[in-house]
């Protein structure tokens, strides 16, 4: 092993020299080198050299009279919190929260709200787990005072009730100020990114409770989490230009399409939107909703249901093989396959002067739907054959029981789409492909988009509809990465505040993604947060001296992320004398 120096340019343009320990080794007949240890900056090592010699020789073997080696008092994770603080600054969220929440006696509520949002983004767990997070991460307010945990001694719930109640009171304040905060953030986003406020994307999801939940909103309904036995709430998110600007929480049994007019009304009254183009999926579409949008002077780009649409056969019959328009192929599809799947679209006459209809045909979607159909048919066929064997063997004789058993089978795996059955007078059961089977094959790979916009191009309408995937990706982030589910709160305002904190964390995460993309850094926000964990706030002490603190450089990825965020001074603010911590 031998030392080697390398020069690295810092974010402020200065060049620092670093010392590394390198080891030579042989692999496949070739001599290679690998870094064993990074010792840090050369100029700092020169200052540490006497103490390093003393450490290597032993305290008593060599007494040079130099200061003793420093003793590390604390080395808390700082990088992720630093990133969230920086994004709060760039978004103007401190000012927005100060104006909406007001101030408290000890710590401004905006600073406590910052802790809740940062915790949801960095270490998403319940409010009871914040105290443990504060022990491992350096989290401070805008004055540099570090938040420290407060514990009970010898109790099952160790976090002190006074500290837990402080977080709960902050949730209560956030809930009361939610509508004002969303409007202020929307105006801030519009000024920062100059997006068009007339294209509104909206979609619905649900999230479930562990426990009974508050009676007002915790209801059984269609579960998108595969938890039909758990009560839930329905959450609708409104996005403009990829940014979540508002969300709504409804009881868990609220139907998707019944929320549309409430959302449009809220955009008009609270956000001052004029004419909008509403972009929604099939669950939002009813004749009443579309007519209400038209009456209000709004437009729409929506997906239409294929199976429950009586006009679909007519539209498909009007397709002209010579009039297809090829859609652009996504970059991922080009990289994945030499011959990428084709997507094409065609406008057909809708017989409605206020609505245009586009049929989109996708090879990739057809391949997926065919595979799903074949799997469902095979499962249903096996069950029907078993039932036929039972009937033939005389183990099932009652006609009513045979009917109930067959209906049960066809209700699973979408079996009723593909098979029908008959029972003879003698009680023999036979099954075959049903009349709707050919229509099922005909619609595979196709989906239908409708719009009221006369001047909108076919490719523009399809691109807008596909942007709904942005909302679905946001839901995945909320549920999985930011752990919005499950919900443990049993009071309605805190349930809604919990969801609000998660959506604020989603907004910060989106801004982080934007900054990484602007810097051409191929890194997800989650990976960036993980890399930033290598940036530490270190407190050390020398004998006879006051404690000192410093910030470690972090990994190369962490330094790239901080540069993308424009961080030039990674140190936290210096706290007031005698007030270094806060509960």
**Structure confidence by residue, pLDDT tens digits, 271-306:** 988 889 999 888 888 889 888 888 889 999 998 888
Residue 285 sits at the vertex; the CA angle it makes with 281 and 310, to the nearest 5 degrees, is 110
pLDDT average, residue stretch 317-341:
75
Strand partners, 551: 537
pLDDT at 427: 82
Whose tokens are 């990706």? That residue is: 473
Answer yes or no: pTM beyond 0.85.
no
pLDDT at 283: 83
Provide φ and ψ at 512, rounded to 5°.
Answer: -60, -45
User: What mean pLDDT value characterizes the chain?
Assistant: 85
Report d(CA 133, CA 144) in Å as an integer. 17
Q: What percent of the chain has pLDDT over 90?
A: 35
Task: With a cut of 90, say whether residue 501 has pLDDT above it.
Answer: yes
pLDDT average, residue stretch 552-562:
88
**Would you place residue 13 in the very low, low, confident or very high pLDDT band (cuts 50, 70, 90)?**
low
pLDDT average, residue stretch 571-583:
82
Task: With a cut of 60, say whether residue 67 has pLDDT above it.
Answer: no
**Would you place residue 307 in the very low, low, confident or very high pLDDT band (cuts 50, 70, 90)?**
confident
Report d(CA 509, CA 515) in Å as an integer. 10
pLDDT average, residue stretch 253-266:
91
**Would you place residue 62 in the very low, low, confident or very high pLDDT band (cuts 50, 70, 90)?**
very low
The two beta strands, 146-147 and 548-551, are unpaired
Report d(CA 111, CA 103) in Å as an integer. 10
Report d(CA 53, CA 74) in Å as an integer. 24
Length of the chain: 583
DSSP string, 181-244: HHHHHHHHHHHHH---TTEEEEEEEEEEBSS---TTT-B----SSS-TTS-EEEEEEEEETTEE
pLDDT at 106: 76
pLDDT at 20: 76
H, E, C per residue of 365-392: HHHHHHHHHHHHHHHHHHHHHHHHHHHH
Per-residue tokens: 93: 């969220």
More confident residue, 576 or 259: 259
pLDDT average, residue stretch 176-204:
88
More confident residue, 426 or 402: 402
pLDDT average, residue stretch 111-119:
92
pLDDT at 371: 93
pLDDT at 274: 85
**Would you place residue 1 in the very low, low, confident or very high pLDDT band (cuts 50, 70, 90)?**
low
Q: What percent of the chain has pLDDT over 70?
A: 90
The two beta strands, 299-304 and 277-280, are parallel
**Structure confidence by residue, pLDDT tens digits, 423-455:** 888 888 888 888 888 888 888 999 899 999 999
Which of the residue ranges 90-99, 196-205, 260-269 would you say has the lowest mean pLDDT? 196-205
Whose tokens are 């962490």? That residue is: 558
| Domain limits, the chain | 1-69, 75-181+491-583, 196-240+243-307+454-466, 312-349+356-451
pLDDT at 504: 93
More confident residue, 20 or 439: 439
**Would you place residue 118 in the very low, low, confident or very high pLDDT band (cuts 50, 70, 90)?**
very high
pLDDT at 47: 62
Per-residue tokens: 192: 């920062």
pLDDT at 156: 55
Task: With a cut of 70, say whether residue 64 has pLDDT above it.
Answer: no
Give domain 196-240+243-307+454-466's CATH number out of 3.30.70.141, 3.40.50.1100, 3.90.350.10, 3.40.630.10. 3.90.350.10
pLDDT at 163: 84
DSSP string, 294-305: HHTT-EEEEEE-
DSSP conformational letter for 324:
-
pLDDT average, residue stretch 399-405:
90
> Residue 508: which of 78, 102, 79, 83 has the closest Cα?
83
pLDDT average, residue stretch 458-475:
85
**Would you place residue 246 in the very low, low, confident or very high pLDDT band (cuts 50, 70, 90)?**
very high
pLDDT at 437: 86
pLDDT at 50: 61
pLDDT average, residue stretch 346-370:
91
pLDDT average, residue stretch 171-198:
89
**Structure confidence by residue, pLDDT tens digits, 330-357:** 545 445 556 778 999 999 999 888 899 9
Answer yes or no: are the C-beta atoms of 272 and 534 closer than 8 Å: no
Task: With a cut of 80, say whether residue 511 has pLDDT above it.
Answer: yes
pLDDT average, residue stretch 205-211:
88
Strand partners, 419: 433
């Amino acid at each position: 092993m031998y030392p080697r120096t390398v020069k690295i340019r810092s974010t402020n343009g200065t060049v620092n020299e670093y010392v590394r320990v390198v080891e030579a080794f042989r692999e496949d007949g070739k001599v290679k080198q690998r870094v064993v240890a990074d010792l840090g900056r050369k100029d700092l090592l020169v200052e540490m050299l006497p103490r390093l010699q003393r450490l290597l020789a032993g305290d008593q073997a060599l007494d040079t009279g130099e200061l003793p080696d420093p003793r590390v008092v604390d080395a808390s994770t700082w990088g992720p919190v630093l990133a969230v603080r920086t994004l709060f600054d760039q978004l103007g969220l401190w000012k927005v929260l100060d104006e909406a929440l007001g101030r408290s006696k000890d710590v401004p509520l905006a600073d406590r709200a910052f802790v809740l949002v940062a915790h949801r983004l960095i270490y998403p767990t319940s409010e009871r787990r914040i105290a443990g997070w504060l022990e491992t991460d350096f989290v401070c307010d805008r004055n540099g005072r570090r938040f420290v945990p407060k514990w009970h001694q010898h109790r099952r719930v160790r976090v002190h009730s006074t500290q837990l109640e402080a977080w709960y009171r902050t949730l209560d304040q956030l809930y009361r100020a939610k509508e004002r905060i969303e409007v202020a953030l929307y105006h801030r986003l519009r000024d920062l990114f100059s997006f068009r406020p007339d294209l509104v994307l909206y979609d619905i999801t649900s999230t479930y409770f562990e426990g009974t939940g508050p009676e007002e909103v915790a209801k059984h309904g269609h579960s998108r989490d595969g938890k039909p036995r758990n009560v839930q709430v329905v959450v609708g998110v409104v996005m403009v230009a990829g940014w979540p600007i508002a969300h709504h929480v409804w009881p868990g049994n609220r139907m998707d399409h019944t929320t549309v007019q409430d959302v449009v009304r809220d955009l008009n009254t609270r956000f001052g939107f004029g004419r909008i183009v509403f972009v929604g999926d099939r669950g939002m579409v009813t004749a009443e909703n579309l007519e209400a949008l038209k009456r209000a002077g709004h437009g729409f780009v929506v997906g239409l249901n294929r199976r429950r649409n009586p006009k679909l056969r007519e539209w498909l019959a009007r397709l002209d093989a010579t009039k297809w328009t090829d859609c652009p192929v996504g970059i991922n599809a080009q990289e994945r396959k030499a011959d990428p799947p084709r997507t094409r679209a065609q406008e057909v006459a809708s017989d409605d002067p206020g609505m245009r209809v586009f049929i989109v045909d996708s090879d990739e979607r057809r391949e997926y739907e065919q595979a799903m159909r074949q799997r469902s048919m095979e499962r249903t066929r096996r069950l029907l054959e078993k039932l036929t064997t039972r009937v033939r063997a005389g183990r099932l004789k009652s006609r009513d029981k045979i009917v109930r058993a067959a209906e049960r089978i066809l209700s699973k795996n979408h079996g009723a789409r593909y098979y029908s059955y008959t029972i003879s007078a003698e009680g023999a059961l036979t099954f075959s492909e049903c009349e709707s089977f050919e229509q099922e094959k005909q619609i595979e790979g196709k989906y239908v988009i409708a719009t009221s916009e006369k001047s909108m191009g076919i490719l523009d309408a399809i691109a807008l509809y596909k942007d709904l995937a942005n909302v679905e990706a946001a839901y995945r982030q909320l549920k999985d990465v930011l752990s919005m589910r499950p919900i443990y709160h049993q009071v309605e305002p805190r349930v809604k505040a919990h969801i609000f904190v998660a959506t604020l964390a989603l907004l910060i995460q989106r801004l982080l993604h934007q900054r990484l993309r602007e810097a051409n850094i191929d890194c997800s926000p989650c990976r960036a947060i993980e890399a930033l964990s290598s940036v530490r706030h270190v407190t050390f002490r020398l004998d006879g001296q006051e404690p000192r603190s410093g910030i470690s450089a972090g990994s190369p990825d962490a330094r790239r992320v901080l540069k993308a965020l424009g961080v030039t001074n990674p140190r936290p603010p210096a706290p007031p004398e005698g007030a270094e911590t806060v509960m």
